[in-house]
A = this chain, B = another copy of it.
């Protein structure tokens, strides 16, 4: 399905020259009246996979394959590669592209591969989006620039994402992660960008459920798909209209996160709540509290390869590791 849609877009673009409009407003008008048009369906659950390293910090491609073989058995919609969890800010450009290429190969044709391509500059973000498209990514997830915080006003956000969306051959998913970037993409910006034909959704890791609900409401007519950025609020996110999640916890508890997704969409509220509540504690340990070090440490306990991190990230201390372990035990996952 995604492919057909994608090709359809390309075709439209070629025929009428309006696929990469220079003007968001016009684009919005054009596409909102075009009933034939539909976007790439990104609903479902994805693990934002970590990049496995050897002891010398080089990329362990064999371990990537090992993990992928296990993940492939889980009913994921696809994979997110080079998100924050992928330690992408520590990889050089060659490595980033190579890892995406490898994940596309290992994922097989049934899984949707989304690649992180956000860089500080617009030009590099465009370049990388094009490169990962070439090696098979089906969409890009684009974190906002964040170094020049005070300059990232609405005009700067709009110009940046419009340029990227205009020139990316594959659709854009906005990536909001204020805990790392120190910036919450302004809702007004998201609402405007949702009208761009090549901006199809957002991953929101902030966890502000009111903000997410407000964006679902405001973009209701735009076929704009919002994904929860964490398993910690997956049920509430579905409750207010999200269509899936990119959940770090799915790296080691993939079946359980997919189960929570199913329950959240069912009418069995009680079962959904119960599983959601069990998930909150361990999830916090592998996301907001201990981050990638917590993630990699706990992957080992579930038969995956976690392994070392690139410096300056440090492996958990043994007391930190104990805290993480207890969280999984308290919820009966270990």
Interface residues in chain A, defined as those with a beta carbon under 8 Å from any beta carbon in chain B: 57, 84, 89-90, 92, 120-124, 145, 147-152, 155-157, 159-160, 163, 179-182, 207-210, 213-214, 216-217, 220, 230, 232-233, 235-236, 239-241, 267, 269, 272-273, 276-278, 280-281, 284, 288-293, 310-314, 317
In the complex, which of the residues B121, B123, B157, B232 contacts A89, with contact meaning CB atoms closer than 8 Å? B121
**Residue of A213, A216, A220, A278 contacting most chain B CB atoms (<10 Å):** A213
Chain B residues positioned under 8 Å from A208 (CB to CB)? 207-208
Residue in B148, B163, B273 whose CB lies within 8 Å of A241: B273
> Shortest distance in angstroms between A148's beta carbon and chain B's nearest beta carbon?
6
Cross-interface CB contact of A233 among B84, B210, B220, B241, cutoff 8 Å: B210
A57 touches B123 (CB 8 A): yes
Contacts of A239 in B (CB 8 A): 235-236, 239, 269, 272-273, 276
Within the complex, what minimum Cβ distance (angstroms) separates A270 from chain B? Answer: 10
Interface of chain A, main secondary structure: helix
User: How many copies altogether?
Assistant: 4
A147–B233 CB distance below 8 A: no
In the bound complex, do residue A236 and residue B232 qualify as a contact, i.e. CB atoms below 8 Å apart?
Answer: no
Selected from B181, B230, B236, B311, the residue in CB contact (under 8 A) with A123 is: B311
